[in-house]
Structure 1
């Protein structure tokens, strides 16, 4: 089979690796518009379950990714002058550029053609191939050629966020909430190498404009944020967008969905097919899981159309719970004033339960008590699971 992957992100590269391992005779080319070593963002996160899937698909990729990642098992929340720590599951961080370099090198070693600075521009014909994989991101040009067919929909989140780096190396997944005269502003920070961490800053639009961040240039904005998070950063600075010519930008998160994921011999992968709010840290994992599912479907079904249909059906089903969790997580941060006055341990407990559909409808103190009891008693745990969607739907109907 001749395969063209448009976009050299983790999903396209890993898909090419899996297909070459299935059959070395596949003719596969990855077309990436940016130069080698040029990527946006800083570090990405994942959990141990992804390593298990990478190990099953390609042990060599799993080995080098794990060896190049940093690990943490604690979560720390700084709320004003208060701090609490939670011991949880082991997580991993790796630089996005390093992840792409590792996957590109592995793909080349298997015979994949990885072509950098090769953009498939608007109006250009798509590559001549049996299968064209659109892994070119949330703004996918390949998808936009047939936007009506794919049924693309985009919903913008209310809060503003910016993706930054810092030389402060965090040894735990860290949250910091800072009160300002214009409302709360907060960040998520985690290490991804021995030299750098990712720092994602978020706030309401009212806080953003009140602080003047809507009018500040990048240098002024970074200086303002460094002052707000001075205790967290411990003397280290914040850094704008890495490895690109442009500066870091404040954005509203784009939740993207598509009615269908394929059109003829074109199929969507990763962010071109779907996005999930960054606050659950699943974007890279979901993209790689897409790649695994697509490769598996093509192996199980030699006919292209049934294989693409099976891939879409499987991934849409798998994504339902994740997308629901992401929506509730984003809403929790948009409703932050409801929870920010709680004692740190309770605030952190609700932070960990922000994916629950029940939270927007139950007073925070009551939900915290239910959750603590449910952690100890199986009967109440079953009751909480039963109450969650039923009560949420009932209250939602009454509010409507």
Structure 2
């Protein structure tokens, strides 16, 4: 089968890997508009559930992804730099640049033709392909050209956010909320590579305008944010440029499509659906899309039947995830309403933002604030990680 993938992100590259592993006879080309290595943005987070899936699907790339990833333990919420509360758990994070290098190396090694600096503006350019996999992100040009056929709905969240880096290394997933005369502003930070953390700054539109970010240039924006977050950053700077491109303020783009298939094309990853960054599922969903699509093609051996089943099962599985993401985005858009509480109660409200909690959950949360209890939870999580790694067959 001749397959063209538009977009060399996690969805496009991992589909190419997954399809080639199932049938080496596929002729697969990945078209990426940017140069190799021109990855914009910082780190992405994931959990053991994705590692389990990756190791089952392709041990070679999974092992390299795990080796390049940083581990963070616990979540810490700080108010005004002095009042802190904690949530349990752990996760992993990896910078986008090494993630894409790993996937590109693996795809090329399997015989995929990965072409960089090769934009595709119209699917008609790929008319000789049996299947066109549209994986060119939330602002997909090809999807926009066929928006009516896909039933595309695009909307934006109201909170401005900016994706930055910092040499301040966080060992926990850290939320830092700072109160300014203009209102509250906060960041989500986590380690993403050796010596660097990802730092996503967010606030309401009203606060953003009152702080003057609408008129500020990039250098002034970074300077003001460094001053606001001087305490949680411990005086470390913020880094705006990623691979030569400065960060800019964005509003989250919500993408929904009634169908992901049309006339020999199929949408995957952010081109098909987006989930707000506060639930950390974008990369996970993109790679699961890739595996599912490759498996359906392998099972059916015929494009129409494979795409129909991928579309139906994918939408069904995604529905609760997108609902959770919308709820999370809305909660942070109204976070100011909860910030008159102490850190422990605010942290609990944030953790419970997806739905009702049993009454005992709050008491458990209060117990977790005791250092000895947190130490015990970390020890338990260490054992769990060891067992899961053993089951997956990880090597150090």
TM norm structure 2: 0.89
Match of 2:261 in 1: 262
Per-residue deviation, 1:124: 6.2
Match of 1:202 in 2: 202
Residue 325 of structure 2 is aligned to residue 326 of structure 1: yes
CA change 1:230–1:103 in 2 (3 A) is same
Residue 167 of structure 2 is aligned to residue 167 of structure 1: yes
Match of 1:301 in 2: 300
Listed as ranges, the matches of 1:22-171 within 5 Å are: 22-122=22-122, 125-126=125-126, 128-171=128-171
Per-residue deviation, 1:368: 8.8
User: What whole-Å deviation, never above 9, does each CA across 1:270-312 have from its counterpart, x for those lacking one?
Assistant: 0000001111111100111111111111112122111101111
Per-residue deviation, 1:244: 4.0
User: What whole-Å deviation, never above 9, does each CA across 1:217-269 have from its counterpart, x for those lacking one?
Assistant: 00000000000000111121111140144x21111111110111111211001
Match of 2:247 in 1: 248
Match of 2:362 in 1: 372
CA contact under 8 A between 2:23 and 2:298: conserved in structure 1? no
Matched position secondary structure for 2:168: coil
Inter-partner Cα distance in structure 2 for 1:320 and 1:261: 14
Matched position secondary structure for 1:159: strand
Inter-partner Cα distance in structure 2 for 1:128 and 1:33: 20
Inter-partner Cα distance in structure 1 for 2:122 and 2:182: 43
CA contact under 8 A between 1:73 and 1:87: conserved in structure 2? no
Per-residue deviation, 1:82: 3.3
CA contact under 8 A between 2:81 and 2:176: conserved in structure 1? no
Inter-partner Cα distance in structure 2 for 1:300 and 1:40: 35
* 3-12 or 142-151, which deviates more: 142-151
Inter-partner Cα distance in structure 2 for 1:101 and 1:2: 24
Matched position secondary structure for 1:137: coil
Per-residue deviation, 1:15: 0.6
Flag the structure with more relative contact order, 1 or 2, with Cα contacts below 8 A and sequence separation at least 6: 2
Matched position secondary structure for 2:251: coil
Inter-partner Cα distance in structure 2 for 1:339 and 1:318: 31
Match of 1:287 in 2: 286
Per-residue deviation, 1:123: 8.3
List runs of 5+ in structure 2 lacking aligned partners: 367-396
Per-residue deviation, 1:337: 2.2
User: What whole-Å deviation, never above 9, does each CA across 1:357-377 have from its counterpart, x for those lacking one?
Assistant: x5xxxxxxxx7957426989x
CA contact under 8 A between 1:74 and 1:85: conserved in structure 2? no
Inter-partner Cα distance in structure 2 for 1:337 and 1:8: 38
Q: CA RMSD in A?
A: 1.8
Match of 1:381 in 2: none
Matched position secondary structure for 2:38: coil
Inter-partner Cα distance in structure 2 for 1:315 and 1:240: 36
TM norm structure 1: 0.88
Residue 213 of structure 2 is aligned to residue 213 of structure 1: yes
Per-residue deviation, 1:49: 0.4
Matched position secondary structure for 1:56: helix
Inter-partner Cα distance in structure 1 for 2:3 and 2:147: 22
Inter-partner Cα distance in structure 1 for 2:254 and 2:274: 5
Match of 1:271 in 2: 270
Matched position secondary structure for 2:76: strand
CA contact under 8 A between 1:163 and 1:241: conserved in structure 2? no
Matched position secondary structure for 1:238: coil
Residue 228 of structure 2 is aligned to residue 238 of structure 1: no
User: What whole-Å deviation, never above 9, does each CA across 1:103-129 have from its counterpart, x for those lacking one?
Assistant: 000111111111111111358623521
Per-residue deviation, 1:70: 0.4
